[in-house]
Every structure is written in structure tokens, then in C-alpha cells.
């Protein structure tokens, strides 16, 4: 049994729990944190019956007052209209500053409900309860909240750290295969940017299980105790990377920018697909393109690009760029949140476990990578 991770910044400290069956402990953990008042449970509509309704019943049995609102699944819910619906629901229900928002679902719910918590009454507590792999290792940890704008992804939001992140890996057993696969992109990314041992663990598991491009793996099998234990340990290690980076740089002024590896091109192709491409799928494509960019700049050798591509394929993801117009991709990269003084700050790998931030990448080279 692992102890909880703890994310500590200059302004806050909170537990980050990654364990099977963790949702069962939520009532006791809320009391330990001193969280009371009304619990505003915002859930992804896809998990309302699976997890939200039983969780609400468990909390009510423990003496909590719970209000529940499902939101439609998918990135299209991260908009002003849906945010306004949450505000209206809470205001009409008599929300008070001592209340707590519970965000149960994937990254969309975490971002949306987190931003609602940050903005209602100028801020109430939020607890992140991720049920997708992508949210567990990335979106739920670190306090980024927000919604999309027609001109860019995640362009409107706030940093609002949760009081706790509680990731119950048992929820991954009911996740659709394509949703589980996209989460592995962020796990692989954490290995590339900061933890070579994590990357090696992912490779070793794939090799042991015979996972490759023809027989991809990384799916959850609740009947395979050894596999689920290994995957849970890998997930926890990936979460630890995010915890460490945010602890160093809470508001993305330096080190935290490295977490955006693969996202500069990834966000662009994701938006150009009108979000038909899942976030993790786009990040996988972005990582491959940005690794090739690093190779062209002489920052890394071809082996890194090949190893990363092989691992991406082994976990069921693709590396090929969609057939988008290069001008459209580059125009969207210029709206990236990392742009500084009209220069794109690219996160590029030098070795497995190490990246650098560069703002001197020629546009012509980016076009060459996109075209090839």
C-alpha cells in the first residue's frame, strides 16, 4: 500500500490519492479535510449511473447534503453556455462559500467544474475525482481550470487548486478502450519529459505482454490482478511527475511549460478536427512531430524518435499527422498559451527524461515537418 502523494506549492498543499477503490473513502476524507456544507456533484453524463449516483447515495448516507448535475460528455461541453448552466444551478440552489464542488469524470468535467468553483462567489472549494486515465495523470492535478473559446482551446480559465485529488483506478475498468488508450499518451509524455525510469517501465510491460503496433495493449482487465497492479503503479508514477512539476512551478512561469510537450502541434490538430480527435490522440501525434523537429535541430538522435514512436504504437495510439493545411496548423500554434513576444516556445526532447524549451525554431522547419 502506497501512501498518498502530496502536492505542495508556495500557496497550498493537498493530498493526491491514486488507488483502487479510493472512492469508497471519500466521505471520511472530506471530513478529515474539514469540507462540509452542500456538495455540488458535477459529473460526466457517461458516468452518472456507473459512479455518480452510488457516490451521491454513499455521501448522503454519511450525512452530507448532495446536489448532482450531469453534463454532456465531450469537449463541446467546455463552453460559456454550459458554465452558465452550472452557475445558475448553484446560485438557484443557494450555494454558499463553505460549500464544495465535486468534479467526477474526465478532464472536461474537471476543467469545467473546476472553473465553476473558481468563479462562483469568487471561489469555493473543489475536489477532483477523475475517472479517466487522461484526467488522473494530467487534467485533475495542478489546478488548471477553464473552458474553450472558438479561437482556441482552454483560452478562458483560472488557476484554482483543488483541496484533494482522489483517483480511483477501479473506474478504468468501465472506460471505453479508445478513452483509455488516449490517456497513455500523457503517461508516455511524463516519461519523456522527466522520468526515464517510467518510460522504461512502459517499454518493459509492453515487451513482456507482446504489445506492438499490430497487437496494442494498455487496456484494463479487472480479472488480471497482476496487470492491474502494474498499471496502477505506472499511473501513480506518472501522477508523481505532475505533482513534482506543479510543486516547482504552480502558475506555468517556467518548469511547468515542459508538461506541454506534444501539445503545441497536438492542440492545433485537435482543434482542426473539431475535437473529433481525442486530446490524447492529438498529443501522441504532436509528440511524434515535435520529436522529429528536435531531431532535425540536432537536439536528439533518431533512436529517441523511434523508441517513442514504438511505445506510442504499443499502447494503441497513432503518430501520423492528419492531412491538415500547414498554414492552419501554424496559425493555431501562434495562439498557443506558451507564445511569448510573438515567439512559440517549443518543448523539445534531448533524451528520454529530458526536454528543453526553445523559442528559436524556424517556421520553415516546422512547415517541413508538417509536410513530411
DSSP structure string for 298-334: TSS-HHHHHHHHHHHHHTT---PPPS--HHHHHHHHT
Residues forming a β-bridge with 167:
18
CA nearest 165: which of 249, 85, 96, 246? 246
Q: In the 8-state DSSP scheme, what is residue 3?
A: P
Separation CA 110–CA 164 (nearest Å): 12
What residues are labeled active site?
Answer: 122, 144, 186, 242, 252, 256, 260, 263, 267, 279
Distances from the Cα of 24 to the Cα of 9, 62, 69, 81, 355, angstroms: 28, 11, 20, 33, 38
Burial 66-96 (b: 16+ CB within 10 A, else e): bbbbbbebebebbbeebbebbeebbeeeebe
Give CA separation, 243 vs 113, 137, 138, in Å. Answer: 21, 9, 9
Residue 34 to residue 161: CA distance in whole angstroms? 16
Nearest C-alpha neighbor of 355 from the set 299, 282, 313: 299
Q: 3-class SS at 50?
A: helix
Query: CA 111 to CA 126: how far, in whole Å?
Result: 11
Check: CB of residue 66 under 8 Å from CB of residue 56.
yes
Distance CA 139, CA 30 (A): 21
- Pairing label, strands 125-130, 65-71: unpaired
DSSP-H helix ranges across the chain:
26-32, 53-61, 80-92, 107-119, 133-134, 177-193, 196-209, 225-248, 263-272, 279-296, 302-314, 326-333, 363-371
Amino acid at each position: 500500500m502506497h501512501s498518498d502523494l502530496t502536492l505542495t506549492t508556495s500557496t497550498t498543499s493537498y493530498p493526491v490519492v491514486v488507488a483502487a477503490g479510493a472512492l469508497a473513502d471519500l466521505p471520511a476524507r472530506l471530513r478529515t479535510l474539514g469540507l462540509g456544507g452542500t456538495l455540488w456533484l458535477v459529473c460526466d453524463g457517461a458516468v452518472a449511473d456507473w459512479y455518480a449516483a452510488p457516490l451521491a447515495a454513499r455521501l448522503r448516507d454519511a450525512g452530507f447534503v448532495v446536489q448532482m448535475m450531469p453534463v454532456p460528455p465531450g469537449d463541446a461541453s467546455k463552453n460559456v453556455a454550459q458554465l452558465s448552466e452550472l452557475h445558475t444551478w448553484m446560485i438557484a440552489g443557494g450555494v454558499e462559500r463553505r460549500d464544495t464542488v465535486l468534479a467526477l469524470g474526465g478532464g472536461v468535467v474537471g476543467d469545467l467544474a473546476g472553473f465553476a468553483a473558481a468563479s462562483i462567489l469568487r471561489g469555493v472549494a473543489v475536489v477532483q475525482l477523475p475517472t479517466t486515465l487522461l484526467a488522473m495523470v494530467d487534467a485533475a492535478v495542478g489546478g488548471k481550470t477553464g473552458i474553450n473559446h472558438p479561437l482556441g482551446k482552454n483560452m478562458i480559465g483560472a488557476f484554482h487548486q483543488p483541496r484533494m485529488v482522489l483517483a480511483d483506478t477501479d473506474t478504468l475498468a468501465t472506460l471505453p478502450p479508445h478513452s483509455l488508450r488516449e490517456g497513455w499518451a500523457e503517461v508516455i509524455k511524463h516519461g519523456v519529459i522527466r522520468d526515464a525510469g517510467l518510460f522504461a517501465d512502459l517499454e518493459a510491460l509492453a515487451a513482456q505482454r507482446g504489445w506492438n503496433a499490430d497487437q496494442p495493449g494498455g487496456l484494463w482487465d479487472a480479472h488480471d490482478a497482476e496487470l492491474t497492479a502494474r498499471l496502477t503503479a505506472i499511473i501513480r508514477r506518472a501522477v508523481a511527475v505532475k505533482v513534482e512539476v506543479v510543486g516547482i512551478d504552480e502558475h506555468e512561469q517556467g518548469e511547468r511549460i515542459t508538461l506541454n510537450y506534444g501539445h503545441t502541434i497536438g492542440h492545433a490538430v485537435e482543434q482542426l478536427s473539431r475535437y473529433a480527435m481525442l486530446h490524447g490522440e492529438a498529443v501522441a501525434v504532436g509528440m511524434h512531430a515535435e520529436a522529429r523537429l528536435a531531431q532535425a535541430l540536432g537536439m536528439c538522435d533518431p533512436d529517441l524518435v523511434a523508441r517513442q514512436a514504438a511505445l506510442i504504437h504499443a499502447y494503441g495510439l497513432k503518430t501520423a499527422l492528419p492531412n491538415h493545411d500547414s498554414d492552419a496548423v501554424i496559425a493555431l500554434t501562434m495562439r498557443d498559451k506558451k507564445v511569448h513576444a510573438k515567439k512559440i516556445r517549443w518543448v523539445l526532447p534531448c533524451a528520454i527524461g529530458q526536454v528543453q524549451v526553445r523559442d528559436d525554431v524556424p517556421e520553415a522547419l516546422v512547415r517541413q515537418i508538417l509536410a513530411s
